[in-house]
Structure 1
Amino acid sequence: MHTDHLARSKKFIKLLRPETAGAAAQTAITWFKPALKLAETGKPIGPSPATLGRLGPLEVRLAQTKQDVKRAQKLRYRVFYKDGTAIADAPTMLARRDKDAFDPICDHLLVVDHAAKPSLSGKQPVVGTYRLLRQDVANRNGGFYTESEFDIGGLITRHPELRFLELGRSCVLPPYRNKRTVELLWHGIWTYVRQHGVDVMLGCASFDGTDPDRLALPLSFLHHHAPAPEAWRARAHPSRYVEMNRLPKEAIDQKAALRELPPLIKGYLRLGATIGEGAVIDYQFGTTDVLIILPVSAISARYIEHFGADASRHAA
């Protein structure tokens, strides 16, 4: 039993490894406002949020100050712009931070390495990050980031009793793209989901590249083999809609298609996610995006067992 559990765990972590380079490392899914507001001094108002988990020297936690958020933005800039294919405008290049209007209303998940050499400021380095946006926060601040690409309004309206969470801006430094870091990031997300009573996760997941014809095989595979059921369906906005059905179902080599899927998308599918209708090209980041929909009720029991139904596996 123990050996079987380890085997499943290793397979699970392998499938959830982030992209090896470039803007596709951001794929995952984006959303909400911090649980704590930040004072002008950069200090949190209210009690300090608890660490979400630890694994050896690595800690996963929420950003608590404006400086914490800036550290996440600097990491995103390095992965998406400096090392990746995203195109920086003048303010982004000057700031050397990936930032947008959603950052102030989102929670930012950080993985910190306590064994690494501190920065000049004395802080331990942030080696991984995810951006989280809860539905209640999005509703008070103009909606989700994902709504710029996909029409998710109908999907949310059909499930008024459920709480949605957007995931996005995911990235990990190259030396940390291993099972330990990824497992800790997902443990942090699962802990956050349990703490806030989240029912559905969603967001944009990305392929490297902006030529859908070169992505015909994996896009067609997702269209034919992983479409969201009617109750969970949402489409790309008509003005940005890119057809995913580029090959007939019988022409798809499933093993070859799986090899071309980004590891993060494969990880979401393993968990139980399905895909919205149509893709969207993001020229700024040099990616082709698809919509991920992952109801908590659809997550396989064996993966919940891996982290613990109460998110206890790597609890601090």
Structure 2
Amino acid sequence: MATNVRETPVTNRTAPGPALKMTEAHGSVFGRIGNLETRLALTPSEIDAAQAVRYEVFAREMGATLTPESVRRGRDIDIYDEFCDHLLVLDRSLPGDSEEQIVGTYRILRQDVARANTGFYSTSEFAVSDMLARHPEKRFMELGRSCVLPKYRTRRTVELLWQGNWAYALEHGMDVMFGCASIPGVRPEAMALPLSFLYHNCLAAGEWSVSARPELFQNMDLMPKEAVDTRSAVNALPPLLKGYLRLGAVIGDGAVVDYAFGTTDVMVVLPISRISDRYLNYYKADASRFAS
């Protein structure tokens, strides 16, 4: 789930954060397909390289407006990088060290780590705390800053990213994945078809309902349900968002325009219990499908 949240000033890294200490002990590869493999970042230099990949995609390709510090360093950075885990996809056929082999990345924030630091970053756009309060017994895991270099935007890379997320969720006993997914553009009215499709067909209800913050709320109910052409609407959705819907995810009420990243964001909620049997059978209940 691409977060694309508004940036906050970065702090200077003086020592590995809590998540990095965990990954140094972890060190395992979650999965391999051909020359590609997925695992967590193990060192500050690998996190730095992942931030460079994010900068390449978000700033140079998408034209996002980042902080002066990000521009100076050529890195997409914020304070959450200090304590998140960083999932990587590496192409082991590329020359050089691991830092030169990173072709995709995802940022993961577990609820216990969020509590110990500054909370979940999606709270800047969505009223997540209401949903969390309804499920005090469940463990939540936030996904964000997803990006892949253009050459590697293939099914294999997406499968490995999901393999990594699934293996990580199992390892840490997570119950729910959530995060912001981004649709390119800052005019919701120009996205009336996909937003209305999400509202009429995928809206989270009851225990999983979550809304955009009132001051940022953009109405998604822009077309009557009978006027929405499903095929055209689905084709208009970004691949990442379509993938999560296939898995069984639901969508929060209200979109948020992120002018810095040039996107319109929606909240995606994926309880593990809702993941479709088709995908559980494919990736295996123990995440062994592509395990090395």
Q: 1:291 is paired with a residue of what secondary structure?
A: strand
Cα distance in structure 1, aligned partners of 2:15 and 2:285: 31
Cα distance in structure 2, aligned partners of 1:311 and 1:28: 28
Please point out which of 263, 279, 282 is paired with 1:303: 279
Asked if 1:267 corresponds to 2:243, the answer is yes
Cα distance in structure 2, aligned partners of 1:174 and 1:268: 20
Q: Is the 8 A contact 1:194 1:310 kept in 2?
A: yes
Asked if 1:196 corresponds to 2:152, the answer is no
Q: 2:190 is paired with a residue of what secondary structure?
A: coil
The one-letter code sitting in structure 1 at the alignment partner of 2:147 is: C
Cα distance in structure 2, aligned partners of 1:162 and 1:302: 24
Give TM-score scaled by structure 2 length. 0.92
1:142 is matched with: 118
Please point out which of 74, 83, 88 is paired with 2:61: 83
Cα distance in structure 1, aligned partners of 2:27 and 2:242: 31
Q: 2:189 is paired with a residue of what secondary structure?
A: coil
Q: 1:137 is paired with a residue of what secondary structure?
A: helix
The one-letter code sitting in structure 1 at the alignment partner of 2:65 is: I
Cα distance in structure 2, aligned partners of 1:178 and 1:93: 28
CA deviations 1:75-123 (Å, max 9, x no partner) are 00000001112113321111100010111110000111110122xx674
1:61 is matched with: 39
1:12 is matched with: none
Q: 1:161 is paired with a residue of what secondary structure?
A: coil
The one-letter code sitting in structure 1 at the alignment partner of 2:260 is: Q
Cα distance in structure 1, aligned partners of 2:240 and 2:227: 24
Asked if 1:126 corresponds to 2:102, the answer is yes
Q: Is the 8 A contact 2:131 2:209 kept in 1?
A: yes
The one-letter code sitting in structure 2 at the alignment partner of 1:295 is: P
Per the alignment, do residues 228 and 123 of structure 1 end up closer, same or farther by CA in structure 2, a change over 3 Å counting? closer
Asked if 1:71 corresponds to 2:49, the answer is yes
2:224 is matched with: 248
Structure 2 residues not aligned, in runs of 5+: 6-13
Per the alignment, do residues 308 and 93 of structure 1 end up closer, same or farther by CA in structure 2, a change over 3 Å counting? same
Q: Identity rate of aligned residues, in percent?
A: 50
Asked if 1:313 corresponds to 2:289, the answer is yes
Asked if 1:211 corresponds to 2:205, the answer is no
Q: Is the 8 A contact 1:222 1:275 kept in 2?
A: yes
Instruction: Trace 1:270-289 onto structure 2 (pairs within 5 A).
Output: 270-289=246-265
1:38 is displaced (CA, Å) by 5.5
1:143 is displaced (CA, Å) by 1.0
The one-letter code sitting in structure 2 at the alignment partner of 1:151 is: A
Q: Is the 8 A contact 2:84 2:109 kept in 1?
A: yes
Structure 1 residues not aligned, in runs of 5+: 1-24, 30-36
1:115 is matched with: 93
Give TM-score scaled by structure 1 length. 0.85
**How many residues are paired up?**
281
**What do you get for the CA RMSD once the two structures are aligned?**
2.0
Please point out which of 72, 77, 91 is paired with 1:94: 72
1:223 is matched with: 199
